[in-house]
Chains A and B, each alone.
Chain A
């Protein structure tokens, strides 16, 4: 029966059953046939998973993405990138990575960034010749930068359970986030050179100026959103709402490219996409709850501890474990469950707990787009409409790139500690 708990959901998943139903039916089976738990758990965990202020970032940034895409603000930005850097191979791909980093500096939510940027940039990337698979892979994987660059909900939670300073964790994430971004950009340029992605001709100063003027309000948006956070006008979660407000004002009153009906239509689409994402988050919470109360993470960590490894061996084992865990759990639950178990071992091995927090965060960020499970994958799939196997092919090169970044971040602790992030 216990085997059925894993094989049945896997079979349902492979046959295209909605992901949230895979989690839900697995939990129902477990409660009906295996575990002595009251069915009330189902409701409690689903409601508790949704009753979370930080999740508001998802509807806000999803709506902001819809508005930017539908209002033409995104087109102006892309035209601007092309006018300035059109001759360089991979410029739009690099701009995607840069946009992810900018989103990362605004929000602590990776999935919201994938949804917002996916809506905006996927059609442009495909039109520029990046290919559907690689474009979707790039979008799904770029979102990982967001939870490494501050602010980061994952790091706030790590600070909470590992009793580490959140500001130091934030500082510690900056260089590793840049490393991931640079490696991604390098790969995108190399791949674009190899596959001769379309270039948009010679540089024309006057055209560049015109494109800059046209994109003025689009370019000002990140300044407004980021500036507001850093001036204390609003919190990172609230910033999502201000991003929507900004886009509505520009689209309705400055560019006059959207009617009120268009705006409501965008909001409807954003509401449905939010529902499709958050119902998975809530249902996946059931898996975390059941695994935790069955002591499974505890057993795995006890097994690693019993191997009595060196610091290097432990870090490698943790990386392998977390990449695997990331296939099934979202980073926030994984950190709440695993950090209290892993951090004491790390500290006993003289590993800096701030550095360890960065390693955990990067791992779980990668887990969000490693096949078969990962929220960023699901969202990228929903936004692009690609079948899973095509998307899997598309993300694999980026998994490789980010694993290289992970190895660097793991074995060069100075990246995490040199800016003042040491504990």
Chain B
């Protein structure tokens, strides 16, 4: 796996917006890492408290699961921006030559359509749940909040897919075989 510093370096010598995006990505990555460590800490405190003091942290399970949902959706946006998502590369030869930008454009269009449609559905879902006012069982927080993480994730992926599409269409038209390696 490529570390964050490498990404910053890779994108850093590009246009200023790309460098800025890379920096945002690096910060986001740190935030997700710290959130994950926080979940580990809640887990340890919760289990130890229960075993040693028969004390339970109310809603620890919910807090951990909802935080991980946020990390997953945020991480998925970041991985899309970096072209890092897990894929089954059955036609590896496409990676070279002039077909590469065309295939990237296809990926971007798929991401834009699928994430965009899902984001719209997600918006409808979250507004409905907010109106109904359901709350989580243990913490009693409005369920619209954890659901909003999924909406934010797909909205973010839609924006990222659009930016990637513009970049890759330019590369396709310009014929420079563009995009980062």
**A268 contacts which of B33, B61, B68, B80 (Cβ < 8 Å)?**
B33
Which of A18, A232, A373, A389 lies at the interface centre, i.e. has the most chain B CB atoms within 10 A of its CB? Answer: A18
Task: Decide yes or no: A276 and B86 within 8 Å by CB, A18-B107, A47-B147, A271-B36 being known contacts.
Answer: yes
Q: CB distance B39 to A16 under 8 Å?
A: no
Q: CB distance B72 to A270 under 8 Å?
A: no
Rounded to whole angstroms, the CA-CA distance of A266 and B36 in the bound complex is 10
Rounded to whole angstroms, the CA-CA distance of A19 and B29 in the bound complex is 22
Q: CB distance A21 to B111 under 8 Å?
A: yes
* B58 in the interface (beta carbon within 8 A): no
Q: CB distance A24 to B114 under 8 Å?
A: yes
Q: CB distance B1 to A21 under 8 Å?
A: no
Main secondary structure of the interface of A (DSSP, over half): helix
Stretch among A36-44, A198-206, A331-339 lining the B interface: A36-44
Size of chain B's interface in residues, with CB distance under 8 A? 66
Interface string of B27-64 (1 = CB under 8 A from A): 00110111111011001101110010000000001001
Interface residues of A in 6-64 (CB under 8 A from B): 12-21, 24-25, 28, 32, 39-44, 46-47, 50-53, 55-56, 59-60, 63
Shortest beta-carbon distance from B15 to chain A in Å: 24
Q: CB distance A274 to B113 under 8 Å?
A: no
Shortest beta-carbon distance from B40 to chain A in Å: 5
* B130 in the interface (beta carbon within 8 A): no
* B94 in the interface (beta carbon within 8 A): yes
* B115 in the interface (beta carbon within 8 A): yes
Q: CB distance B3 to A269 under 8 Å?
A: yes
Size of chain A's interface in residues, with CB distance under 8 A? 71
Q: CB distance A270 to B33 under 8 Å?
A: yes
Interface residues of B in 79-113 (CB under 8 A from A): 79-80, 84-92, 94-95, 103, 106-107, 110-111, 113
Instruction: Please give, as numbers and ranges, the residues of chain A lying within 8 Å of B78 by CB-CB distance.
Output: 272, 275
Task: Decide yes or no: A238 and B76 within 8 Å by CB, A47-B147, A59-B39, A274-B68 being known contacts.
Answer: no
Stretch among A189-197, A239-247, A394-402 lining the B interface: A239-247
Rounded to whole angstroms, the CA-CA distance of A56 and B47 in the bound complex is 14
Interface residues of A in 257-286 (CB under 8 A from B): 263-280, 282
Instruction: Please give, as numbers and ranges, the residues of chain A lying within 8 Å of B4 by CB-CB distance.
Output: 265, 268
Rounded to whole angstroms, the CA-CA distance of A46 and B151 in the bound complex is 11
Interface residues of A in 160-215 (CB under 8 A from B): none
Q: CB distance A265 to B68 under 8 Å?
A: no
Rounded to whole angstroms, the CA-CA distance of A234 and B126 in the bound complex is 35
* B150 in the interface (beta carbon within 8 A): yes
Rounded to whole angstroms, the CA-CA distance of A381 and B37 in the bound complex is 25
Taking A16-B94, A238-B46 as known contacts, 11 extra A-B pairs with beta carbons closer than 8 A to each other, sorted by chain A number, are A21-B85, A43-B151, A46-B118, A47-B146, A59-B39, A235-B47, A242-B44, A268-B30, A275-B71, A275-B79, A387-B89
3 closest A-B pairs (Cβ-Cβ)? Answer: A275-B75, A268-B33, A241-B43
Q: Could you list which residues of chain A lie within 8 angstroms of chain B, going by C-beta atoms?
A: 12-21, 24-25, 28, 32, 39-44, 46-47, 50-53, 55-56, 59-60, 63, 232-235, 238, 240-242, 244-245, 263-280, 282, 372-373, 377-379, 381-383, 387-389
15 A/B residue pairs, CB under 8 Å, sorted by A = A15-B103, A16-B95, A17-B107, A24-B115, A42-B122, A50-B150, A232-B51, A241-B43, A242-B43, A274-B68, A276-B76, A282-B72, A373-B88, A387-B89, A388-B89
